[in-house]
Amino acid sequence: MPGATLMKLYVDDEPFRMDRVMVRRSERTLDLRRGLLRREVEWETPDGRSMVLRTKRFVSLEHRHVVVFDYEVEMLDGSGTLTIASELAVPQRRLDHDEELDPSARRRWRVCSCP
């Protein structure tokens, strides 16, 4: 089954990484009744710009194949080009020598970028 939860944020072609920015505030809440995960992160880039990322993920409990993502990025000061990219990790079945001998061998994943 494909894994479609990977989203990447770029600010002026630089990837957003929590280990490279100063995080001012981070909150995450999970509503199990509604199947909704909310996250809000406010950070400062190495060049001093402040931003906030708000995300929502919804998974239907009745129709488990239904997933909705909502991403909002706000630049609190400064300007720049924002890019959000999604990726789809698809299991790739390749029979190799080890897999023929051991059917429980790990699956290999191929990542597809979707602009």
CATH value at residue 10: 2.70.98.40
Judged against a pLDDT cut of 60, whether residue 106 lies above it is answered with no
Is the whole-model pTM more than 0.85?
Answer: no
Instruction: Point out which residues pair with 113 in neighbouring strands.
Output: 87
pLDDT tens, 43-74?
998 888 899 999 998 888 788 778 888 889 99
What is the residue range of 31's domain? 3-114
Average pLDDT over residues 3-24: 83
Residues 6 or more apart whose Cβ sits within 8 Å of residue 81:
11, 12, 13
Lowest-confidence region among 8-12, 28-32, 39-43, 106-110: 106-110
State the pLDDT at residue 35: 85
State the pLDDT at residue 40: 95
Higher pLDDT, 8 or 96: 8
Provide the residue type at 77 as one letter: D
- Quote the number of domains for the chain: 1
